[in-house]
Amino acid sequence: MDERRLSTRPTMRDVADRVGLSIKSVSRVLNGDPGVSEAKAEHVLTVARELGFRRNDLARSLRLQDRTETIGVVVRQASTRFYDSLIRGIDEVAARHGALVLTATTQSAEREQSAVLALSSRRVDGLIIVPSGEDQSYLRAEAAARMPMVFVDRPARGISADTVVADNVAGGYAATQHLIARGHQRIGVIGTRSSASTMSERARGYRDACREAGLASEDLVRWNAHGQEGAQQACEELLGLAHPPTALFALNNVCTIGAVRALQGAQLSRQVALIGFDDFDTADLLNPPVTVITQDVEEMGRRAAEAIFSRIDGRPTTSRREKTVLPTTLIARGSGEIEPDRPVARRIGA
């Protein structure tokens, strides 16, 4: 109705003046504190609504000594499915605790630090971080101040903190085992950065399984397959070897899709088996349907959030760091069950 001067938002002062009460009484009403007569409380509420009052949580949190009822999440935007499920899990728990979840996404590992520190400066009550940078020692001050924080997917480096991860080694082992059991002797691996712990652990599981079966492995591992194109190229290179692998193990989502692309593109005389780490929406719709190792990312989010809130609520022996390792599961859909040297059927259509 009335044209306010210029983006000045009403304060409790304004409401109090309009109602003819003290600012404190207004505060009480607006926070549902007892000790204000029904009639006056009603009036305050009405006026607050008329004025479009929104409590300034900056001021409130400042006064409340850094309780912002907010937890910050920092993720690098890459494997989308991972992010989605993670947030879903976190949200579920945070909602129960009445906290707002604020996510900052970073497009590159370099920006991780600034995003995290920005959140810290805004005094979030806790931090859930999917580390993408090489080193998290920049969080030492927060650790010293006992800010609750949990690292998800990979452990932090340069600092000790709670961690929630999948059992990547076991997942890599299971995938490889699955292929070996079907007779594969040459299994190619496509991964992004060998420096990322998730990647290196999945590869370790692969190597363990190969060693146990008495197979060579190292010469069939291709790192630095970045993006779908990179993964596709790495696969094509593997498939072009004089003595090519009969099966592939893609260490993440993006690599898997790149591999599918490579396999569909190449005119191969033999079908090549494929197992991918991490599930994706259309995995069962591809031809052949893609066998994957899944991790329960939503559960990772839930566990991470629970860890945060138990620290926030100051659960007893708070100083010990906890590392939660969640199991992985193999979902057989077809691509991982292809046997070595199985001839390719005729293509559909044209």
Partner DNA sequence: CTGAAAGCGCTAACAA
Partner DNA sequence: TTGTTAGCGCTTTCAG
Write out the residues near a second copy by the rule CB under 8 A.
Answer: 4, 6-9, 51-59, 61-62, 66, 68, 70, 77, 80-81, 83-84, 87-88, 91-92, 95, 100-105, 107, 111, 115, 117-123, 140-142, 144-147, 257, 260-261, 264, 280-282, 285-288, 345-349
Choose from DNA, a second copy, none: what does 345 bind? Cβ within 5-8 Å by kind.
Answer: a second copy
Q: How far is the CB of 334 from a second copy (least distance, A)?
A: 8
Distances, alpha carbon 54 to alpha carbons 3, 43, 58, 215, in Å: 17, 16, 11, 66
Nearer Cβ to DNA, position 27 or 103? 27
Interacting residue with DNA among 21, 90, 231, 234 (CB under 7 A): 21
Q: For residue 40, give both structure tokens.
A: 């006056």
Q: Can residue 13 be called a binding residue for DNA (CB under 7 A)? A: yes
Q: How far is the CB of 170 from a second copy (least distance, A)?
A: 27
Stretch of 30-38, 127-135, 309-317, 331-339 lying at the interface with DNA (CB under 7 A): 30-38
Radius of gyration of the chain (CA): 27
Choose from a second copy, DNA, none: what does 25 bind? Cβ within 5-8 Å by kind.
Answer: DNA
Q: Can residue 37 be called a binding residue for DNA (CB under 7 A)? A: yes
Mask of contacts with DNA, 50-79, x by CB under 7 A?
-----xx--xx-xxxx--------------
Task: For residues 147 and 150, give the distance between their C-alpha atoms in angstroms, rounded to a whole number.
Answer: 10
SS3 338: coil
Closest CA to 126 of 189, 78, 71: 71
Q: What share of the chain is helix, strand, coil (3-state, %, to 5)?
A: 45, 15, 40
Strand pairing partners for 326?
166
Q: Looking at the chain, which runs of residues are DSSP E strands? A: 70-76, 100-106, 126-129, 149-152, 162-166, 187-190, 221-222, 247-250, 270-271, 273-277, 291-295, 323-326, 328-331, 342-343
Residues that contact DNA, how many (by CB under 7 A) = 26
Q: Can residue 204 be called a binding residue for DNA (CB under 7 A)? A: no
Closest CA to 278 of 260, 290, 262: 290
Nearer Cβ to DNA, position 10 or 171? 10
| DSSP β-ladder status, 149-152 and 162-166 | parallel
Q: Can residue 141 be called a binding residue for DNA (CB under 7 A)? A: no
For DNA, the binding residues (CB under 7 A) are 8, 11-13, 21-25, 27-28, 30-31, 34-37, 40, 55-56, 59-60, 62-65
